[in-house]
Structure 1
Amino acid sequence: MKRTKQIADRFREVVLNGKWVANTNYKDQLHDLDWIQATTKIEPFNTIAALTFHINYYIGGVLNVLEGGALEIKDKYSFDCPQMQSQGDWQLLKNSLWTNAEKYASLVERLPDEILDEVFVDKKYGNYLRNLEGMIEHAYYHLGQITLLKKMLN
């Protein structure tokens, strides 16, 4: 199996459908939360909605690069979650995450393995492998936070 296919499958595991590493994933954790729970602030932590926005923001930014665009995301905007006013707003954010995650994984699995050692956007970011694996690690980090916040809400 191609390495890029393996990376894409690992990414899908954390966001969409896996149980192997954390025995859960974003889809499992977020499916039964309503917008009130998702936006409930437990001091001093971020809300579940903010963490969902944050991970989707980074996926979208790297997705843009994989689609041939520039890396336009900025850390300082990564928690600028729009205010949720309804269940529909929350559902839109979740749907955006699912859509972006699947597009991202599909593009990653189509990459040639040789690209993994190439510079990602700029030398300061390292190579593709570092960034693709970093996205998985980043996703698991915030999945753990979401899982704990969800337990605290219940």
Structure 2
Amino acid sequence: MDRNSFIANRLREVLLSGHWIANTNYQEQLSDISWQQAIFKIKDLNTIAALTYHINYYLRGLLAALETGKLEISDKYSFDLPEITEKNDWDKLRSDFLTNAALFADKVEQLDAEIFDQPFFEEKYGSYLRNIEGVIEHSYYHLGQIVLIKKMISQ
């Protein structure tokens, strides 16, 4: 398996369809969450909706960067979740997330293999490989939070 496919499959594993590392994935975990559960606040924890928005913010921003050649996302905006007040709001966020997850994995699979060792837009960010692996690790981190919050809500 080539490098592109391997990395793209790791993205699909955590975001869309895998069970190897966490025995679950975002698509599976988000599939049965109501909009009320998605915005349910437990003490100072982020909500499931906020975590979903957060990961989607980076997926959407990285997709745009790969298309335009300009990295224009900022950590300070990554939790700026629009208000969710009904089912349609949550359904749209979840749908956007899953669409962007699939598009990002596909885009990574289509990258030239040589790009993985090149600087990610600027030297200070490290290589493409480091940043895409960072997306995978970051996604697993927040997936674990979603799983725990979901369990806390259903008790």
Asked whether the two chains share a fold, i.e. TM above 0.5, the reply is yes
Letter in 1 for 2:37: Q
**1:35–1:90: 8 Å Cα contact kept in structure 2?**
yes
When the two chains are superposed, the root-mean-square deviation of aligned CA atoms in Å is: 0.7
**1:14–1:139: 8 Å Cα contact kept in structure 2?**
yes
Q: CA deviation at 1:66?
A: 1.7
Q: Where do 1:1-154 residues align within 5 Å?
A: 1-154=1-154
Q: CA deviation at 1:68?
A: 2.8
Local SS of the residue matching 2:15: helix
Letter in 2 for 1:138: H
Q: CA deviation at 1:64?
A: 1.0
Please list every run of at least 4 consecutive aligned residues from structure 1 whose deviation after the TM superposition is greater than 4 angstroms: none
In the aligned structure 2, how far is the partner of 1:43 from the partner of 1:121?
A: 38
**2:69–2:121: 8 Å Cα contact kept in structure 1?**
no
Letter in 1 for 2:149: L
**2:117–2:129: 8 Å Cα contact kept in structure 1?**
yes
Letter in 2 for 1:23: N
TM-score by length of 1: 0.98
Q: Which runs of 5+ in 1 are unaligned?
A: none
Letter in 1 for 2:30: L
**1:13–1:25: 8 Å Cα contact kept in structure 2?**
yes
**1:66–1:108: 8 Å Cα contact kept in structure 2?**
no
